[in-house]
Structures are given as C-alpha cells and as structure tokens.
Structure 1
C-alpha cells in the first residue's frame, strides 16, 4: 500500500496471465482443428485438453474461494456485451459442471459388454465417452474476441497503474506457501 492507500491489484495482474493461457489454448485448437474433419479419439482428446485449459483458465479470474476475490471488471473499465455475457455464463457452467468437476448429472457415456470367448461365459466391459468439443467454431471465434478485449482492458489498466504508481508497480510477488 502506498501513501494514497493504493494497493497492488494482484487479481487484475494475475488475470492477464490466466487469460493469456486461455487464449494460447484456444489458439492451438483454432490452428490445428478443422471443424469439418473427422479425427481419431486421440486427436479429439488433444483438442479437448486444449479446450479444457481454455475454459478453466478463462474461468479462474471469475471464481471466488480460499480467500480469493473475483476479478473486478469495473476497475479495468470492462463491460460484457449481451452476447459475451451469455458466452461467459456457458464457459463458467462448463467449468463448474463438466470440465473441472464431472458432475454426475452431466456425465455422458455408454457402457456395454460382449462375450469374449465362446462357451466360457467371460464378458468384456466396454465404456465409450463423449469424444467431441463442447464449443463450436463460431463460439471459438467469439471466445477469442472476448479474450482479446479482456487482455486489452487489463493491459491498459496495467499501463495506467504503472504511470500513476511506478514504485508500487515494481515488485516481485511470490507465493505465500513456500515450504
């Protein structure tokens, strides 16, 4: 805190890193995925890993808990459009119900078994899972645009903060849990 009572906005600074991770993961999908092509399960899982990272990283600044505050968008002068607010709600729902927590009511799979050998009575179990992306191409583009707008607003905030508080901006923030 400085003489004017100004504190370092850690959540805002760190949110830029979260959004950069989300944008990188989203970019990997957009660069590698042809939304009209067919892919193997392994390739689809690779895309899902990127998608999961994008969703979780995007959501992190908006989640509260363990002493953490949500990102204050008014501090960075950011407002969601109606379309962006719907997309944000979907992304947070996906994070809360599917990609981070696997809520039972949202699970999707098919289980079956087959007789492996004739006359032995041994059945082999097979479980198949949903192997597709949760977002469509247009949603990826809207997500990309939203992330770029958020990152721009935070970059502008950091610039203004550094001009107004150069001594407060210069720091090394370390984890408080250094065992």
Structure 2
C-alpha cells in the first residue's frame, strides 16, 4: 500500500490556524504527560514503607502530573482555555469534584505557595552545651495527596483523552491544514528539532 506524502506545514502563527485547534492538540500532549505521571505514581504500594527520598520521587510524579493536567484549563497567551462542554465532556459530580481538587492543588500548592496549604513545622535546637548557637530545623509534609484517588484520576484522564482524540479526528476529516508551532521544523516533513536530552527510539 502506497503512503501519501504529508502536506507541507504552515506556521501556527499564520492567520487561519484556529487557536481552539491549537489548544486541542496542546491539551492532548499535556494530558498524556499527566497520565504518564499518574501511571508512575500508581507504582507506589500503599502498604509498603518508603524512605523520605523515595516518597519525594513519587511526590515529583504527582506534582508534575498536576501541573500538566492544569495547563489546558489555565489561561495563557495566544490560546483559549480548554472547554469540556465544547468537546462533548459532561463531568459527573465526582469527576467535577476531582477536577476542582486537582486545580486547587495546582493553584495553591504546586504552582504557588499558598499559606493555607503549605504544611511545615519549624523549630531550633542547641547542639552544643558550651555554645549558644542554635540550629534551625524544618519538617515538611511528606504526604502524597490524591494517592487514594489516583485510579480515579487515571480514568478521568483517559476519558478526557478519548474525547479530545475523537474531536481532533473529526477536525482532520473536515480538512485540517497541517501546521507546526516550531519555527525550526522542516516545512515539508514536519520533523521537529530535538531539544537536548535523551533520545527516544
């Protein structure tokens, strides 16, 4: 079976590229990152004991996943926020609450340091009896929010990705003009210039 040559790409900044379409594709990328992060988080065994360093690794997965999840729903220059209604998604009350909780965690803990949500304890001690010097000690919250809800988050992310995938498929059938948001991409093949880092297969 012969393969059709891809159409030349146009820059996304060129007039005619709908910002809502950009948001759809950006959101698919962001939600895939979020899903991967929560998949990594699900490797944690709630019945096992972990060191603080190991717990922080899982906390990194959680925070990265929440940041990625929040991008489609956070205002940015050039593209609108993602509309669930316009993409055929009507959250259940439980899903809506989960979304609200994720966004609140994003706004108050991960992206910003809200005093109401920053859980630390600070004290000091005198290590030497013959010196008055005191050493500060800070204890931070090593907990993992959303650990009990991680499977619900994963299901919700998969539902969103299915809806966005269906929407972009529908747009493609209507004659989507290929485009790129990378000014250094090959205009004929769409090949992107890799950023520094590990190579994928």
Question: What interval of TM-score do these two structures reach, taking the shorter chain for normalisation?
Answer: 0.7 to 0.9
- Mapped pair 1:107 → 2:118: yes
| Partner in structure 1 of residue 68 of structure 2 | 57
Q: How does 1:99-138 map to 2 (within 5 A)?
A: 99-137=110-148
Scaled by the length of structure 1, the TM-score of the pair is 0.87
| Partner in structure 1 of residue 87 of structure 2 | 76
| Partner in structure 2 of residue 149 of structure 1 | 159
Q: Which has the higher helix share?
A: 1
| Partner in structure 1 of residue 22 of structure 2 | 10
Is the Cα–Cα contact under 8 Å of residues 22 and 79 in structure 2 kept in the other structure?
no
Runs of 4+ in 1 over 6 A off after TM superposition: none
| Partner in structure 1 of residue 6 of structure 2 | none
Is the Cα–Cα contact under 8 Å of residues 22 and 58 in structure 1 kept in the other structure?
yes
SS at match of 1:106: coil
* Range with bigger deviation, 67-76 or 18-27: 67-76
> Over residues 41-67 of structure 1, what are the superposed CA-to-partner deviations in whole Å (9 max), with x where a residue is unaligned?
111111110000111111110111434
> Over residues 53-83 of structure 1, what are the superposed CA-to-partner deviations in whole Å (9 max), with x where a residue is unaligned?
1111111101114344110223321111110
- Mapped pair 1:98 → 2:88: no
Structure 1: give runs of 5+ residues left out of the alignment. Answer: none
Over 3 Å counting, the alpha-carbon distance change for 1:44 and 1:6 in structure 2 is closer
SS at match of 1:125: strand
> Over residues 110-169 of structure 1, what are the superposed CA-to-partner deviations in whole Å (9 max), with x where a residue is unaligned?
1111111112112111101000101132x1011000000000011111111111114x2x
Scaled by the length of structure 2, the TM-score of the pair is 0.78
SS at match of 2:116: helix
Over 3 Å counting, the alpha-carbon distance change for 1:124 and 1:61 in structure 2 is same
Which of the pair has the greater relative contact order for Cα pairs under 8 Å at 6+ separation? 2
RMSD between superposed Cα atoms in Å? 1.8
Number of aligned residue pairs:
168
Name the CA distance, whole Å, in 1 between partners of 2:147 and 2:56: 16
